[in-house]
Chains A and B, each alone.
Chain A
Amino acid sequence: NAGVTQTPKFQVLKTGQSMTLQCAQDMNHEYMSWYRQDPGMGLRLIHYSVGAGITDQGEVPNGYNVSRSTTEDFPLRLLSAAPSQTSVYFCASSLGPKAFFGQGTRLTVV
């Protein structure tokens, strides 16, 4: 089973560029979420979705957009990358309270 798959694993962007981090799950989970992990800060919730067509903001949503057109996919978009968005990004899907995480995307904005 693939579980939660994130692509790419690594990415370097220039300030002002845009990109989409991909997240796909094959477990038919309704709930999906995006977190960022920064040194000394722990994981913080960016956006989440309780099902196709429904998204909401988490703790640190500014600078990020999401959409959920299918149950399987939950992409995270950076419209204009900033150095402050340098981080490791994790996507998760949940079956009730039990969460399954992807391997992460390490993003560097220069």
Chain B
Amino acid sequence: KQEVTQIPAALSVPEGENLVLNCSFTDSAIYNLQWFRQDPGKGLTSLLLIQSSQREQTSGRLNASLDKSSGRSTLYIAASQPGDSATYLCAAGAGGSEKLVFGKGTKLTVNP
């Protein structure tokens, strides 16, 4: 059974800092790896999707990498801003590209 773990559970940084969020998964036979953002009381917004054949994806200040052999993905946020404060969830596509197994998330606070 696929299990997804995110470390740390919470992170507080000063504005402008570069930071890395970590995600690990137990079964390397994944279809894809997605990173989502969730604001309080809101739904999930997809940030980056990495297919199993890819190593990384970039969108603006965000860069996500995937290493299937080690069972790890990282989300790098450059020059963090207070507006980046949210919970970040990673999810592995397992048992089909649409069936997602989620980690518990990392709650990020960026202080002005």
Contact = CB atoms under 8 A, between A and B. Distances in A.
Interface of A: 4, 31, 33, 35, 40-45, 48, 58, 90, 92, 94, 96-104
A104 B32 CA distance: 24
A96 B46 CA distance: 13
A42 B46 contact: no
10 contacts: A4-B43, A41-B104, A43-B91, A43-B100, A44-B102, A90-B44, A97-B97, A99-B100, A101-B43, A104-B43
Query: What DSSP secondary structure best describes chain B's contact surface?
Result: strand
Interface string B30-67: 01101010000111111001010000000000000000
A45 B99 contact: yes
Interface of B: 4, 31-32, 34, 36, 41-46, 49, 51, 89, 91, 93, 97-105
A47 B46 CA distance: 20
Nearest to A102: B43
A104 B45 CA distance: 12
